[in-house]
């Protein structure tokens, strides 16, 4: 049932009222761990509901649930440690020019966070996902807009989160759930919502981003919108292991029926025999992939229309024709095009836009200048990948370093000799990138995702008894701190 404007208002106000209850770090860590435990206990029902709504399959969903509960526990560890508060103390120093006052700085939660669930990850990027986990870790209550493709899964997960809160003596209202398109727009405009996290399409995310910026008091909008995830294969790498690269590409671009945000959608491969072997390997592997089900019929129609339009462009060939598989399925495929067609503005610009589903474009380049020309035209991405020969990886030529330098401005994560699908939930992870990959410079995966929901505050010449415990000289909470540098 879609939430009315009044119901959205009630949900936001109920969440807002719980801010003080979330102030204690011990309670937040307990909430996150208990939520993980309850989701694990409910795994059979959660996976069954998610599979019925998304057709992603029990195997994929079992792994996704494990990832979801692992990141909840990871954020609990981050809360326990306390380094995310970034406590810094500069004591008064009259010898400085100009003299320093006593300054003590740390980070405080923003307030209610609006979370928009993703279609392609009903768990890890939806109700109990990274946005929710990191916001709760920061001390921010959440109001989640469920995705229409998996409403029952959303309800099951929200219930587990609320039960976890109540089990650790926190109000269940720290987590609210609303449904409906209009509810999503009402949510981002609500005056008590302090920030938002979104994973979805460029069109939908940009509309919400613009609404967040147009408010009388604009709020941070951390949106993940779309990514082509380019791959560059050097001629030397293709000569060494063309078949291996082709097989790896096929596995990566068809994983999850091509519905991963990190799917490699554009590959720059050399002309000539090594590149031909790479394309032949890709062709063989992709032709063996069975037709699969996309998340909904709207996405299926967009994929079928999108690949038809791309395949119809001049000089575009289809070694394996992507498109409709059956009444409800789609077939994987790959397209090839001369890289020169992408080096200048024109109809082939369509090939530089993400096509959601199991298809990739292989652009065949003649020389390094064509690689540079194509890369210079790409928008921002979540990832960029480079495949090098053993000699290039060892630094025996400058080509590897040159290509890394070209790829670094394009993406938030740069890989060498690997594939971008699969985003490790690790402290050093960065899942974000220049627009339109994301609308901010933040990450939605990894420990630093918590920073999106915090703001720094500095206290100047504040008497010790009035300071927050985090900033007192005795450090009663035992926090890691940087004192006088």
Q: Which residues are catalytic?
A: 224, 261
Q: 415 forms bridges with which residues in the sheet?
A: 385
Which among 188, 19, 138 has a CA at the least distance from the CA of 456? Answer: 138
Residues 418/232, Cβ–Cβ less than 8 Å: no
What token pair was written down for 329? 């399925």
Which among 37, 298, 5, 2 has a CA at the least distance from the CA of 146? Answer: 2
Distance CA(368)–CA(235), nearest Å, equals 10
Peptide bond into 98 cis (omega under 30): yes
Distance CA(408)–CA(371), nearest Å, equals 14
Beta strands in 3-132 (DSSP E): 87-90, 103-109, 112-116
Distance CA(363)–CA(369), nearest Å, equals 13
Beta strands in 271-398 (DSSP E): 292-293, 317-320, 323-324, 329-331, 333-338, 359-365, 381-387
Residues 467/473, Cβ–Cβ less than 8 Å: no
Q: Kindly give the pairing relationship between strand 103-109 and strand 454-460.
A: antiparallel
What token pair was written down for 57? 């399959």
> Helix 151-167 vs helix 43-54: angle between axes, to the nearest 10 degrees?
160
Helix, coil or strand: residue 228: coil
Distance CA(441)–CA(434), nearest Å, equals 7
How many other CB atoms are found less than 10 A from the CB of residue 222?
26
- The secondary structure of 406-457 as a DSSP string is HHGGGEEEEEESS-S------TT-----TTTTBSSS--SSSGGGGGGGEEEE
Q: Which helix (H) or strand (E) holds 32?
A: helix 25-41
Distance CA(372)–CA(365), nearest Å, equals 10
Q: Which helix (H) or strand (E) holds 334?
A: strand 333-338
Distance CA(413)–CA(434), nearest Å, equals 11
What token pair was written down for 416? 């060498």
């Amino acid at each position: 049932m879609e939430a009315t404007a009044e119901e959205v208002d009630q949900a936001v106000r109920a969440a807002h009222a719980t801010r003080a209850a979330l102030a204690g770090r011990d309670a937040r860590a307990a909430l996150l761990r208990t939520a993980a435990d309850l989701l694990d206990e409910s795994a059979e029902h959660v996976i069954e509901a998610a599979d019925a709504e998304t057709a992603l399959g029990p195997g994929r969903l079992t792994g996704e649930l494990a990832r979801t509960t692992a990141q909840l526990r990871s954020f609990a560890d981050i809360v326990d440690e306390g380094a995310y508060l970034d406590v810094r103390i500069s004591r008064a120093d009259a010898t400085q020019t100009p003299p320093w006052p006593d300054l003590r700085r740390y980070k405080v939660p923003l307030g209610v966070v609006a979370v928009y669930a993703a279609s392609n990850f009903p768990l890890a990027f939806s109700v109990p996902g990274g946005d929710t986990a990191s916001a709760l870790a920061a001390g921010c209550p959440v109001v989640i807009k469920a995705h229409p493709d998996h409403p029952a899964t959303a309800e099951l997960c929200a219930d587990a989160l609320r039960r976890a809160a109540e089990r650790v003596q926190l109000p269940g209202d720290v987590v609210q759930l609303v449904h409906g398109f209009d509810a999503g727009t009402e949510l981002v405009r609500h005056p008590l919502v302090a920030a938002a996290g979104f994973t979805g399409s460029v069109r939908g995310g940009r509309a919400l981003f613009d609404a967040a910026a147009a408010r009388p008091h604009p709020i941070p909008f951390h949106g993940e919108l779309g990514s082509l995830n380019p791959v560059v294969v050097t001629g030397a790498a293709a000569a060494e292991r063309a078949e291996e690269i082709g097989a790896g590409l096929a596995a990566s671009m068809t994983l999850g029926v091509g519905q991963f945000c990190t799917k490699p959608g554009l590959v720059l491969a050399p002309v000539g025999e090594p590149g031909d072997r790479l394309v032949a390997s890709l062709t063989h592997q992709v032709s063996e992939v069975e037709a699969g089900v996309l998340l909904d019929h709207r996405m299926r129609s967009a994929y079928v229309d999108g690949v038809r339009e791309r395949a119809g462009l001049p000089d575009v060939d289809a070694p394996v024709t992507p498109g409709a598989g059956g009444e409800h399925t789609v077939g994987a495929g790959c397209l090839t095009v001369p890289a020169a067609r992408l080096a200048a503005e024109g109809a082939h610009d369509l090939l530089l836009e993400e096509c959601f589903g199991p298809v990739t474009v292989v652009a065949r380049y003649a020389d390094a200048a064509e690689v540079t020309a194509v890369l210079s035209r790409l928008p921002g991405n979540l990832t960029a990948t480079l495949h090098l020969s053993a000699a290039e990886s060892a630094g025996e030529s400058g080509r590897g370093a040159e290509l890394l330098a070209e790829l670094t401005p394009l993406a938030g994560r740069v890989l060498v000799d690997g594939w971008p699908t699969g985003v490790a939930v690790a402290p050093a992870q960065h899942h974000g990138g220049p627009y339109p990959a994301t609308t901010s410079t933040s990450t939605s995966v990894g420990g630093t995702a918590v920073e999106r929901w915090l703001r720094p505050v500095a206290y100047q010449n504040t008497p010790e008894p009035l300071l927050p415990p985090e900033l007192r000289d005795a450090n009663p909470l035992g926090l890691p701190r940087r004192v006088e540098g």
